[in-house]
Structure 1
Amino acid sequence: MANQFWLLLIISFVSVVALSSPANGLSVSYRNKRLPRFPRYTFQNRTRIKPFLHEYRYETKFFSQQLDHFSFADLPKFPQRYLINSDHWLGASALAPIFLYCGNEGDIEWFATNSGFIWEIAPKFGALLVFPEHRYYGESMPYGSREEAYKNATTLSYLTTEQALADFAVFVTDLKRNLSAEASPVVLFGGSYGGMLAAWMRLKYPHIAIGALASSAPILQFEDIVPPESFYDIASNDFKRESSSCFNTIKDSWDAIITEGQKENGLQKLAKTFHFCRVLNSTDDLSDWLDSAYSYLAMVDYPYSADFMMPLPGHPIKEVCRKIDGASGDASILDRIYAGVSVYYNYTGKVDCFELDDDPHGLDGWNWQACTEMVMPMSSSQENSMFPADDFNYSSYKKDCWNTFRVNPRPRWVTTELGGHDIGTTLKSFGSNIIFSNGLLDPWSGGSVLKNLSDTIVALVTKEGAHHLDLRPSTPQDPEWLVEQREAEIRLIHGWIQTYRLEKEAKFSSLKSSS
């Protein structure tokens, strides 16, 4: 498919790098590049989180959810999975809060186990924790199965942000009623696409939740709000700040790949150089694989070792550039690139070869969302980007969406439904109690809110932070700036809850005195 369509997807927004572990190698399936790249749940993620599930105690339950909240058609309901922990909840009588994580585009267990901050502050607030899963992901499948849910444009038509937000609103309202906790305040949390949902839910359902922590939430990455080059420019600068020679080597490698691929047996030689288990179909396969790795490295350039997308060392881009720059003098440019990218794909050294399993259908939930309403224009500039130069072309994008799903995108719908243009004036006038937290190493920070919009619409920005780092579990290696960022978030959330309780108490006292 044309590069313009794939410029927009990868999430929770990813050119999905779905990973599994066959007996003789690491299987990597991914979509073409140039689609919004959010961290995505994969089979390998599932394998890696299992040993850590015991660290977080929760019950897994299902809620019977409406398929369509905006019509009265008699449609079948579907089971929406949610995780719940009440170990520290002080109960409804204490007006103890409910912390709700807005599920992303993937299995909710993956997001729950990578959101340690919420678990760690629950005892401090006496909070109930709930993690509802996003419809059409994980085990929350309409129509009884993934196969039926993803069957065609008609069955997929209920996969929208509006329906997902309504799911969360209906779910938590019913939960509070069942717990006789109608008066308990709800605080929303979310990272990446989940952060977008948290911010949007606070704006769209202000009576449901008293505030939202929206981490790495690019709510401005839509038509004509921010430059479409911002993602790839920031990702490129993350490499350039470590090493200009590393940046230039990567920038020059794309032409080297094409040149090598055009030679006799060139694709076979490329497959051998990069240790693929089979011959490449085209040089695009390799370029997309590299594009995906560099983009994710920029997102998870954490200051300590982590196992979020892949097992990686602390400051992984620094390590990638060390490998590229430190290769032997007779190493070719492609040998250098392989040495560097192996930090991402094979840091453990356990993979013998990489097997590319490209799904030609692309019938992935996030691809559908990007082809309908989550149209997030992305380009790569010739001057500032180390990635191949590429301009967003909506006509090509629209054509590819039609060829894939038989659907036409609505590029202005998100900003019509949820806002985005002149965000400062809008949120200052109509919004409150939202924290937009961002790290400037994160490529998605270019589409996020980076300055305070009012006393209660607050931006917490860290120069060295990466993709929703603040939501991850604390570690002894946390730098001071990260500790301070989380402390600021705790203070703001505490203030929301205190204000809410004081208003409730004042209202109760007023009613009591009038009676």
Structure 2
Amino acid sequence: MWLLISALLLLQPALNLGSGGRNMWLIKEKVHRSRELRLQKHLLDNWKALPAEGKADWVVPKEGLFPQPLDHFNRRNNGTFKQRYWVNAELWEHQRGPVFLFIGGEGALTPYSVLAGEHVDLARKYRALLVSLEHRYYGASINPDGLSDQNIQFLSSQQGLADLATFHEFIKQQYALTGKHRWICFGGSYPGSLSAWFRMKFPHLVFAAVASSAPVRAQLDFTGYNEVVSRSLSNPVVGGSLKCRTAVAQAFSRLDRILARGNTSGLEADFRSCQKLNGSGDRGEFAGNLADIVMGTVQYNAEEPGSDIANLCRIMTNQSLGSTYRRLTVLNKKYMDVMGLPCVDNSHRNVLEQLRSTEVKPFGVGLRQWYYQTCAEFGYYQTCEDKGCPLSRWLTLRSQVAICVQVFGIDPGNVQGAVNFTNDYYGADHPASSRVIFVNGDIDPWHALSVLKNQSRSEVALIINGTAHCANMNPEEEGDPPSLRQARQKVDDQIGTWLAKEHPYPW
């Protein structure tokens, strides 16, 4: 077991993405690396607590690859790819134990997907078989030519759900499962949406679903993201205040005035840009990168010590640091120090080159893949063009949708149609399903696109006061707020109630 934990230290983290810029990608990667380290510690602490004879019984999760059709909806296409999965049967009661499926998303999965987390804690109680499936076109689940303009068309949520159905049959055969083995799926962020949709579209395969921070409603112009950011900066429960929100808005307002004048040499020096800001593209990247610091802090509030709304607000309301503009430079410097950046890359050309790269990497995030999905299915573009937004007005819908044609040749006018189809296909935030639990934190900007009210007696919505993106999916920690503990207990109780109707527990 110790060798397993040591080996996992070398793995890159999986990542859940929005449509943010370069800084947001870096923030999310650091947050998810931090989550991996916490999972490692949780796993190691549990291992150390075992008696000596128990330590020898730990089993390394089974990693495998199996062939998936490249296109489930065209049987004349005989192409396939190898999809990666993990299985942990250590906790499983073979006769009647359920199957807990952890769904992958916009980055590579690791063995932690079946070793630690809320779903693993629940599997220990309900003696479940733990399985996880990496999303097609992310991590190692992609052919060498998969990211080409010709082949990226096979990346979609619909194909991903069909992958899950095929995987269900594969695991069923591998482990001789019957109707007594109920499947419950788990996912967070985009995989949270997939979890709810898998239950809805394949109710004969999936008994129940937990959808954490799931933006099930696609939206082209996601103005609600920064509306939540604004409210969160003002929320005293997490250390925010109206004074903080006002200071942030004033700083970005001055920033925008300087950008509009076009003389950006002072900005380049004050905020340590790696290059001169040449043209509106670079200026938009610059404004977006600074906004990402605020947006990322809110989205992942308190994931890491000192990286939270309270600390951000202490900086932005500290008059001894000078004007609100100067306070923003301090916030930027702190971010750069934490990330180990000598300067900030604000080149729009560099971003486009990165998104155009078809190099397949079997680890980390899938930037090109996810941006393609935003263009072809979801939108999710986080803008700041309304009066209530406290960030830069350079976060425009036009600039973000333009990337769709610049990188993928998708006409910006077609993106709205794709978003409309997604909502029609899945039901947006009013899905007609059953036995689904939607879990959201009210600090998380993504909760604005999720299900926030019970849709029926068995489509349950839980809102966690003062928590951020996918917070409930982490293992329990001593410092967890009561609201988070209560939400996890409600998920546990609901799953127990549903399973008890099929088979009394304990068996």
Query: TM-score band, normalised by the shorter chain?
Result: 0.7 to 0.9
Superposition deviation, residue 289 in structure 1: 0.5
Superposition deviation, residue 259 in structure 1: 4.1
Unpaired runs of at least 5, structure 2: 1-14, 44-59, 357-367
Q: Which residue of 1 aligns with 2:56?
A: none
Which of the numbers 309, 320, 327 marks the counterpart of 1:336?
327
**Does residue 97 in structure 1 map to residue 94 in structure 2?**
no
Q: Which residue of 1 aligns with 2:502?
A: 500
Shift of the 206–247 alpha-carbon distance from structure 1 to 2, 3 Å rule, reads same
Superposition deviation, residue 278 in structure 1: 4.1
**Does residue 189 in structure 1 map to residue 186 in structure 2?**
yes
How many residue pairs match? The answer is: 449
Question: What whole-Å deviation, never above 9, does each CA across 1:343-397 have from its counterpart, x for those lacking one?
Answer: 545348x554444574224241111111111134654354322023489768x87
Unpaired runs of at least 5, structure 1: 1-9, 18-27, 32-38, 506-515
Q: Which residue of 1 aligns with 2:451?
A: 449
Equivalents in 2 of 1:114, 1:301: separation in Å?
25
Q: Which residue of 2 aligns with 1:159?
A: 155
Shift of the 323–123 alpha-carbon distance from structure 1 to 2, 3 Å rule, reads same
Shift of the 288–377 alpha-carbon distance from structure 1 to 2, 3 Å rule, reads closer
Q: Which residue of 2 aligns with 1:472?
A: 474
Which TM-score applies when normalising by structure 2? 0.80
Answer whether contact 2:118 2:475 (CA < 8 A) is retained: yes
Q: Which residue of 1 aligns with 2:485?
A: 483
Superposition deviation, residue 231 in structure 1: 1.3
| Counterpart code for 2:452 | L
Q: Secondary structure of the residue that 1:412 maps to in structure 2? A: helix
Deviates more, 1:409-418 or 1:202-211: 409-418
Equivalents in 2 of 1:432, 1:454: separation in Å?
7
Equivalents in 2 of 1:276, 1:115: separation in Å?
39
Q: Secondary structure of the residue that 1:465 maps to in structure 2? A: coil
Shift of the 41–197 alpha-carbon distance from structure 1 to 2, 3 Å rule, reads farther
| Counterpart code for 2:373 | Q
Deviates more, 1:336-345 or 1:455-464: 336-345
Q: Which residue of 2 aligns with 1:292?
A: 292
Which of the numbers 172, 175, 182 marks the counterpart of 1:176?
172
Residues 42-441 of structure 1: pairs in structure 2 closer than 5 A: 45=32, 49=36, 53=40, 58-91=61-94, 93=95, 95-109=96-110, 112=113, 116-142=117-143, 145=144, 148-152=145-149, 154-183=150-179, 184-222=181-219, 228-241=222-235, 242-261=240-259, 266-281=263-278, 282-302=282-302, 306=303, 311-313=304-306, 316-328=308-320, 331-347=322-338, 351-356=341-346, 358-361=350-353, 362-363=355-356, 364-376=368-380, 378-380=382-384, 382-389=386-393, 400-407=403-410, 408-409=414-415, 410-420=418-428, 423=430, 427=432, 431-441=433-443
Superposition deviation, residue 246 in structure 1: 2.3
Shift of the 490–50 alpha-carbon distance from structure 1 to 2, 3 Å rule, reads closer
Q: Which residue of 2 aligns with 1:35?
A: none
Equivalents in 1 of 2:111, 2:176: separation in Å?
30
Answer whether contact 1:11 1:192 (CA < 8 A) is retained: yes
Answer whether contact 1:176 1:182 (CA < 8 A) is retained: yes
Q: Secondary structure of the residue that 1:360 maps to in structure 2? A: helix
Shift of the 195–126 alpha-carbon distance from structure 1 to 2, 3 Å rule, reads same
Question: What whole-Å deviation, never above 9, does each CA across 1:403-442 have from its counterpart, x for those lacking one?
Answer: 3212343221112221127x2xx62xxx210001111111
Superposition deviation, residue 122 in structure 1: 1.8
Equivalents in 2 of 1:401, 1:181: separation in Å?
43
Answer whether contact 1:320 1:343 (CA < 8 A) is retained: no
Answer whether contact 1:193 1:217 (CA < 8 A) is retained: yes
Q: Which has the higher helix share?
A: 2
| Counterpart code for 2:270 | T
Shift of the 66–500 alpha-carbon distance from structure 1 to 2, 3 Å rule, reads farther
Question: RMSD across aligned C-alpha pairs, in angstroms?
Answer: 3.2
Question: What whole-Å deviation, never above 9, does each CA across 1:142-199 have from its counterpart, x for those lacking one?
Answer: 3xx2xx21111x2111000000011111112211111101331110101111110000
Answer whether contact 1:233 1:384 (CA < 8 A) is retained: yes
Q: Secondary structure of the residue that 1:135 maps to in structure 2? A: coil
Equivalents in 2 of 1:405, 1:14: separation in Å?
15
Answer whether contact 1:45 1:110 (CA < 8 A) is retained: no
Shift of the 461–255 alpha-carbon distance from structure 1 to 2, 3 Å rule, reads closer
Equivalents in 1 of 2:128, 2:287: separation in Å?
46
Equivalents in 1 of 2:112, 2:449: separation in Å?
22
Q: Which residue of 2 aligns with 1:508?
A: none
Equivalents in 2 of 1:268, 1:445: separation in Å?
38
Question: What whole-Å deviation, never above 9, does each CA across 1:17-73 have from its counterpart, x for those lacking one?
Answer: 4xxxxxxxxxx5869xxxxxxx8557x956984795586553322121111111112
Answer whether contact 2:114 2:130 (CA < 8 A) is retained: no
